[in-house]
C-alpha cells in the first residue's frame, strides 16, 4: 500500500491549437510538470480524493506537442495548457485508444469541432481586422471621427424635425383648425431639407458607417419622398389640405425621439425614458402615418381629377357637369369625392376619421387617374404604350403595406431584443 501511486482526477478539452487540462488538486505544493518525448509528466503534493498526498500521472499525447507546458495554480485546481505543433482537431487525447480511468472530458470548456472552427475563424477575422485598422490608422481615432460625424448628423436632423414639431404645435394652439390648411407653406422648406438629408442615413447604412439594415431605411425614405415631392410638391391642390398637417406631425413625432436616441448612443449613454419612447412610439405612429399617406392619395387624386366640376358640386347641381363627366360611373365618383371631403373636413382634429378610409381611398383613386389621364405619358415609337399614373399608384400601394410590414417587423425585433424576456442558460 505504501508503494501505491495515487492519481488525481484530470479533465481535458481542446481547440485546434491548444490542449487544456484541469487537475483536481487543492492546496498544491511543489508541482513538477514537464513534457519529454511527447509525454506529460505530473507530480505534486496536494489534497485530492485520497486526502493530502503526493499525486502523479503520465499522459502520452496522440500527436506531437510543444515541450513547454504552461500551468497555473489556484486554490482548488491546477490548469495546464499545452500547445499543439500542428493546428488540427484530435479525435482523442492519448495515443492509446483506451482512455485512462482518471481522465474525463471537461464539459465546462468543451466545444465540438464545428464550434471550434467558428471560434478559430472569428479569431482570425479579428486579427485581420486589427491589422487592417492598424494600417489605415488608429482605431480610436477612426471611432472618434465616426461618432463625431454621426452625432452632428443626428443633431441637425433632430433640430430640423423639432422645429417642425414646435411650429405645428404652437400654430395649432394659437390658430386652431385654421392652422391645418397652410401647414405646407409654413414648414415645407424645412421638411424638404430634412428629407433630402435623410438620404445620408440610407447611405450610411449601405456603406457600413452604421449597423442599421438598409432595406427598412430605404423603404421609409422612398415612401416619404414620394409623398413629399410628388404628391405634395407637384399638386398645388394638395398643399392646402388638413391631411398635410397630420402627415408632417406624425413624421416629426417619430423623429424627435429617434434622433436623440442615436445621439446618446454615439456618446455611449442610455436614458431609459428616451430608450423606451424610441422603441414604443412607432407602434401607434407608423400605422397612422402609413394610413394618412393612403388618405392623401385619395384626396390628391380626386382633387386633380375633378377640379372642373367642383363648382357645380358645391352649388348642389350635377347638371352643370361637363359632358365628359356625365356617365353614371363618373357621377358616382364625383359624389364619392365630395362625401369623403365633407367627412374629412368635419372631423379633421380626429386622426381616426381619415385613417378609417385610408386603405380604401387609395384603391378608389386608381380608376379616376385611369379616366382622366393625369400624369400619364406615352412611350416613344415603336412601343407607343400609354403608361398611366395609376400604375405607379398601384405599385406604391403594394410598397406602402409591404414597407409597413418590413418596418414593423424590423422595429418589433429591435424592441423584443431590448425588452423581451431573455432565456436563462441551463448549465
- Tens of pLDDT, residues 399-427: 777 766 776 777 777 777 777 654 444 44
- Residue 10 DSSP SS3: strand
Instruction: Give the number of other CB atoms < 10 A from CB of residue 324.
Output: 11
Reported confidence tier of residue 177, pLDDT bands at 50, 70, 90: confident
pLDDT of 328: 55
Residue 187 has pLDDT above 80, yes or no: yes
Reported confidence tier of residue 186, pLDDT bands at 50, 70, 90: very high
| R_g (Cα) of the chain, nearest Å | 36
Burial of 220 (0-12, 13-18, 19+ CB in 10 A): buried
Sign of the torsion angle spanned by Cα atoms 202, 205, 210, 212? positive
Return the top range by mean pLDDT from 18-27, 124-133, 240-249. Answer: 18-27
**Tens-place pLDDT, residues 124-169:** 677 667 766 666 556 677 788 889 999 999 999 999 999 999 999 9
Percentage of the residues of the chain whose pLDDT score is greater than 70: 69
Nearest residue to 262 via CA among 250, 246, 278: 278
Backbone torsions φ then ψ of 196, nearest 5 degrees: -70, -35
pLDDT of 163: 97
**Tens-place pLDDT, residues 77-118:** 999 999 998 888 888 888 888 888 888 888 777 765 556 566
Nearest residue to 350 via CA among 227, 180, 166: 180
Which of these ranges, 64-73, 213-222, 362-371, has the smallest mean pLDDT? Answer: 362-371
- 39-48 and 26-36 beta bridge pairing: antiparallel
**Domain locations in the chain?**
10-111, 139-419
Task: Report pTM.
Answer: 0.49
Q: Domain 10-111 belongs to what architecture?
A: Sandwich (2.60)
Residue 306 has pLDDT above 50, yes or no: no
Strand order in the sheet with 26-36: 26-36, 39-48, 51-60
- Residue 277 DSSP SS3: helix
Mean pLDDT value across residues 305-311 = 45
Conformation bin of residue 413: beta by default, left when phi > 0, alpha when psi is -120 to 50: alpha
What Cα–Cα distance (Å) separates residue 318 from each residue in 135, 142, 310, 333, 368? 77, 69, 10, 12, 18
- The Cα 346–Cα 354 span in angstroms is 11
Reported confidence tier of residue 173, pLDDT bands at 50, 70, 90: very high
Sign of the torsion angle spanned by Cα atoms 31, 32, 34, 39? negative
Q: Which residue has the higher pLDDT, 362 or 347?
A: 362
- Residue 52 DSSP SS3: strand
Residues marked as catalytic: 286, 293
Mean pLDDT value across residues 20-39 = 90
- The Cα 184–Cα 375 span in angstroms is 22
- In this structure, the chain runs to a length of 427
Burial of 331 (0-12, 13-18, 19+ CB in 10 A): middle
Grid coordinates representing 10 are: 484530470
Grid coordinates representing 47 are: 489534497
Indicate the average pLDDT of the chain: 75
Grid coordinates representing 236 are: 398645388
pLDDT of 286: 62
pLDDT of 113: 53
**Tens-place pLDDT, residues 46-86:** 988 888 899 999 999 988 999 889 999 988 899 999 999 88
Residue 384 has pLDDT above 50, yes or no: yes
Amino acid at each position: 500500500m505504501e508503494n501505491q501511486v495515487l492519481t488525481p482526477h484530470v479533465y481535458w478539452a481542446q481547440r485546434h491549437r491548444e490542449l487544456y487540462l484541469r487537475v483536481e488538486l487543492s492546496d498544491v505544493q511543489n508541482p513538477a510538470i514537464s513534457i519529454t518525448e511527447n509525454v506529460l509528466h505530473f507530480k505534486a503534493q496536494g489534497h485530492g480524493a485520497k486526502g493530502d498526498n503526493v499525486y502523479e500521472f503520465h499522459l502520452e499525447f496522440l500527436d506531437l506537442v510543444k515541450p513547454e507546458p504552461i500551468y497555473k495554480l489556484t486554490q482548488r485546481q491546477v490548469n495546464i495548457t499545452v500547445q499543439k505543433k500542428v493546428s488540427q482537431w484530435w479525435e482523442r487525447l492519448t495515443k492509446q485508444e483506451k482512455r485512462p480511468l482518471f481522465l474525463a472530458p471537461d464539459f465546462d470548456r468543451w466545444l465540438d469541432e464545428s464550434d471550434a472552427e467558428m471560434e478559430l475563424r472569428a479569431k482570425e477575422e479579428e486579427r485581420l481586422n486589427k491589422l487592417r485598422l492598424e494600417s489605415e490608422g488608429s482605431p480610436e481615432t477612426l471611432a472618434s471621427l465616426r461618432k463625431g460625424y454621426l452625432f452632428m448628423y443626428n443633431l441637425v436632423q433632430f433640430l430640423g424635425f423639432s422645429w417642425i414639431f414646435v411650429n405645428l404645435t404652437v400654430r395649432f394652439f394659437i390658430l386652431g383648425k385654421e392652422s391645418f390648411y397652410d401647414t405646407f407653406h409654413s414648414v415645407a422648406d424645412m421638411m424638404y431639407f430634412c428629407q433630402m438629408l435623410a438620404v445620408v442615413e440610407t447611405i450610411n447604412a449601405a456603406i457600413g458607417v452604421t449597423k442599421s439594415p438598409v432595406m427598412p431605411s430605404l423603404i421609409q425614405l422612398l415612401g416619404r419622398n414620394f409623398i413629399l415631392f410628388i404628391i405634395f410638391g407637384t399638386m398645388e391642390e394638395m398643399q392646402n389640405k388638413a391631411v398635410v398637417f397630420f402627415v408632417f406631425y406624425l413624421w416629426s413625432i417619430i423623429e424627435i425621439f429617434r434622433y436623440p436616441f442615436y445621439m446618446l448612443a454615439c456618446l455611449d449613454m442610455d436614458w431609459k425614458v428616451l430608450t423606451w419612447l424610441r422603441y414604443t412610439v412607432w407602434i401607434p405612429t407608423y400605422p397612422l402615418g402609413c394610413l394618412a399617406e393612403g388618405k392623401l392619395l385619395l384626396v390628391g387624386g380626386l382633387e386633380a381629377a375633378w377640379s372642373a366640376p367642383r363648382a357645380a358640386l358645391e352649388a348642389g347641381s350635377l347638371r352643370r357637369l361637363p359632358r365628359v363627366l356625365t356617365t353614371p360611373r363618373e357621377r358616382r365618383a364625383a359624389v364619392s369625392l365630395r362625401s369623403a371631403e365633407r367627412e374629412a373636413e368635419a372631423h379633421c382634429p380626429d386622426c381616426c376619421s381619415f385613417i378609417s378610409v385610408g386603405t380604401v381611398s387609395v384603391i378608389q383613386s386608381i380608376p379616376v387617374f385611369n379616366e382622366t389621364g393625369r400624369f400619364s405619358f406615352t412611350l416613344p415609337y415603336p412601343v407607343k404604350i400609354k403608361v398611366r399614373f395609376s400604375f405607379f399608384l398601384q405599385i406604391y400601394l403594394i410598397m406602402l403595406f409591404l414597407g409597413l410590414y418590413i418596418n414593423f417587423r424590423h422595429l418589433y425585433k429591435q424592441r423584443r431584443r431590448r425588452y423581451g424576456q431573455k432565456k436563462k442558460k441551463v448549465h
